[in-house]
Chains A and B, each alone.
Chain A
């Protein structure tokens, strides 16, 4: 299996975005970061979602359908925020991101021609939420509203993936109906947010909570806990992600109305993005890296260190948010960043170890 070097630039673009996103996040929490100014300070969320995650999702889906033309999506979202440093107008960047979102829709439509399964429809719905969110962003709508669309995009994308794997299990028609109802509840609450934000966020939280409970019962991860080391690690990360999804749902149900700068808004966003989304990334990295780059990762128990560190850092952040402790919040953002850095380091070390083992085996033969 030879390394797919052609895809490394896309992955580097994704890493570039997460690094810039993290640095802006640190600046927002009070750390001095030289290159960040008032023009880009509000781009922490957009870079994390559209620069980092959209690039990764586009890349992963393109590799899956094996159509080279679809790489344009990962390229556009990956390069967009780089253009900030070339002083390209932000409106152009927003349009490039929108094009990248449409690329993802086309990938799903292509897949739909082959397989008309519910999990693909759910991911299409999620990508439509992303597009609506990005259009609202072009019109400079409130971030507290846009974030709901972006969050739902990620929830539907991850739910679609997990649902696809869950079809290995047998579940009743009633359970399918409950899942579809929760999906419809999420969708209606998003549209309701234009009319009654306070009520819509609480309904959204309820729908997220139902989705979380559903996966706790039906996700295949629960069957994988007694498996070998890597599969068990993946399962634990996934279950960890669901727990954080439950916590973020509870925060939004209890709090309802969010305003920018509100500490509970920070708790909601980061329990979702760091707790749920990043846990899912930790889970899939050891298998997605080999799939995309044809680089084998040698699993090691050391992978638990970044998962444990991530949890500690989010718990610290949420305590700081709930108790309005600004300095603890500032420290927690460093801990959050270190958890992601530790993940990158552990992954790189495991790739290096794997290559050393292969080299030794070849020499032995």
Chain B
């Protein structure tokens, strides 16, 4: 909890934010059913940092995933923890998500 407190007080300037920073916070967004983060699950397709906003392209493992809104909100919230700027999350279905998009480490864990 104390880490979040620190981050909340010391938000990074947009000019200093990198895709690596965004990926790092998205590593903390966990799908509660599998307990796997959305980066390892391969749900994040693209991260773009503009002057006035951050764009994220993400997908779900299925269009009837009940976690859709929850995960989108979590993505926005986690990025806003480190930088105070509008975050646009675009839900995309192409290419379709498949098992090959999961990180190797998680794949090995799921064998």
Contacts and interface: CB of A to CB of B under 8 A. Distances in A.
Interface in B1-58: 1, 5, 8-9, 32-35, 41
B63 to A, nearest CB: 4
Interface in A31-46: none
Nearest to A220: B34
Question: Secondary structure at chain B's binding surface: helix, strand, loop or mixed?
Answer: loop
Given A165-B34, A168-B102, A286-B32, A63 B61 contact: no
A255 to B, nearest CB: 35
Contacts of B68: 63-64, 66, 291
Nearest to B109: A223
Nearest to B31: A287
B73 interface: yes
Given A169-B111, A288-B66, A224 B61 contact: no
A231 B33 contact: yes
Contacts of A220: 34, 110
Contacts of A290: 32, 70
A266 interface: no
Given A1-B73, A290-B70, A365-B5, A64 B64 contact: yes
Interface of B: 1, 5, 8-9, 32-35, 41, 61-70, 73-74, 77, 93, 96, 98-99, 102, 107, 109-111
A114 interface: yes
Nearest to A108: B64
A60 B61 contact: no
Q: Across chains A and B, which 5 residue pairs bring their CB atoms closest together, nearest first?
A: A231-B35, A111-B63, A291-B70, A114-B63, A287-B32
A294 B63 contact: no
Nearest to A357: B1
Question: Secondary structure at chain A's binding surface: helix, strand, loop or mixed?
Answer: helix
B71 to A, nearest CB: 9
Contacts of B65: 64, 164
A52 B89 CA distance: 33
B53 to A, nearest CB: 20
A361 interface: yes
A64 B70 CA distance: 10
A294 B63 CA distance: 19
A294 B66 contact: no
Contacts of B77: 1
